[in-house]
Amino acid sequence: MSIFRRAAGGAVMSLIACCSFATAALAQDDSPATLITGARIFDGVSDTLIEGQDVLIEDGMIAQVAAGIAAPEGATVIDAAGRVMTPGFIDSHAHLMLQMSYGEGLNSDEFYHAYMSTRTARQYLMHGFTTVRDVMGNTYSLKSAIDQGVVVGPNVFPSGPMISQTSGHSDHRNASYKPANLADEPDLFVKYFHAAIADGRPEVLQVTREALRRGSSQIKISVGGGTGSEFDPLDVIQYTEDEIRAAVEAASDWGTYVTAHVYNSDGIQRAIRAGVKSIEHGQLMDRETMQMMMENDVWLSPQVIVYTFIPLGYTEDQAAKHRQAYDGIDNMFTMAKEMGFEKIAFGSDIITDPGMIERINEEFVYRTEWFDNAEVLRQATSKSAELLSMAGLRAPYKGKFGVIEEGARADLLLINGNPLEDIEILVDYETSLALIMKRGEIFKNTVE
């Protein structure tokens, strides 16, 4: 790494750090209490709405859920007037970085990547996503800036770089690059630590530990081909079982888990045998593999919306892989329903296209082809929160996510209309989301 590259990266970090210290007081939990009355509550778990309960928020947490709560002195009182309250939504497969075309991303410096990510972070929060699990990207400083109140955005569970083998899903070198054995010439995504390439147990251990050092709450690896990388078909298996196990052991030593990008059955089964606890995508799996996931308590983190369009900058070969992945969605979800597989999280995987972030809430509607409205809302709240909780002590925030109950985080939404009856209202998020609260702080309020 050149002196200039170190200096440039340090400048970005220093700028964010200075702003963070200057505004740290804004993030303290010393704001007055808030009492919300008159809401009909979807608690993240039930099939029906809870009526007649007030919700008291103190110190960023839900202090009480009961009927007829007296407002503490100085508290802000909000009459929901029959609106539906839900936990803040969780996107378990988000990308806060790299919301730009591949060409733009590969020809920009880290300053530009950082500035663009602040727009994406705000978009997620304004769409009702108070928490995201970011599964590829150098989001450590962005998370810090959000937590300190410098940047508006959701709670972030960072994976840091997606880790893959040479020729794997993190390898974005084109034909102009020399072979790795002849030159140390990383592509831009590797250079900026959005992705990492590691071969063999020692390198996998080193990169995994580096990500944990930086603050990853979980580790993301790739064990199969992807649509965003040019040279690896979806049927290929990436990483030996020993290499996968190296990442799992390093993560386990830190009390957290590994999630794996993969579409095909052989890759999923190899990952499970090595101890991986979550599968990203999975559309090409067979029934035997889904049964294996169920027997080993492995989560499925699937997406629909990203496969309904071709991301900006894709070649025709990449687009063909993207369509192949889309074609497997129906079989995967149909099997899940038939087999009673319920460890299904909610995610979007939108990347390379900031315009599509504006359509992110369509994911709720797409899923209703296989799941009822309550199931989809559970996936976006309590189910995804269960997946986040596997980070254990590496979880960057305290309190329960994805539910409305005493002791849970005050990440809450008030919705105009009832998404249990008509989930399509969430697509028009500017109209349907009347209040957005994250850890007791209100970021939007149109309640009269």
Q: What pLDDT was estimated at residue 10?
A: 41
Residue 177: the pLDDT is: 60
Q: Where are the domains of the chain?
A: 31-87+403-445, 89-370
Question: Cα-flanking dihedrals φ and ψ of residue 352, to 5°?
Answer: 75, 0
The confidence score (pLDDT) of residue 207 equals 98
Amino acid symbol at 128:
G
pLDDT at 258: 98
Tens-digit pLDDT string for the chain (448 aa): 333 233 334 434 434 433 433 343 344 456 689 999 999 999 999 999 999 999 999 999 999 999 999 999 999 999 999 999 999 999 999 999 989 877 788 889 999 999 999 999 999 999 999 999 999 999 999 999 999 999 999 999 999 999 999 988 878 666 666 576 655 767 888 999 999 999 999 999 999 999 999 999 999 999 999 999 988 999 999 999 999 999 999 999 999 999 999 999 999 999 999 999 999 999 999 999 999 999 999 999 999 999 999 988 889 999 999 999 999 999 999 999 999 999 999 999 998 887 899 999 999 999 999 999 999 999 999 999 999 999 999 999 999 999 999 999 999 999 999 999 999 999 999 999 999 999 999 999 999 7
CATH number of 89-370: 3.20.20.140
State the pairing for strand pair 433-438/54-58. unpaired
Lookup: tokens for 400:
């329960």
Q: 229 vs 62, 84, 121, 160, CA distance in Å?
A: 43, 42, 24, 18
DSSP string, 161-179: SEEE-TTSTT----TTSPP
Taking alpha carbons only, the member of 41, 74, 77 closest to residue 56 is 77
Q: Is the four-CA dihedral 173, 174, 177, 181 of positive or negative sign? A: positive
Amino acid at 170: S
pLDDT score for 60: 97
* Residue 16: per-residue pLDDT: 40
- Rounded CA-CA distance 30/209 in Å is 35
The hierarchical CATH code for the domain 31-87+403-445 is 2.30.40.10
Q: What is the pLDDT of residues 165-183, one digit of tens each?
A: 998 887 866 666 657 665 5
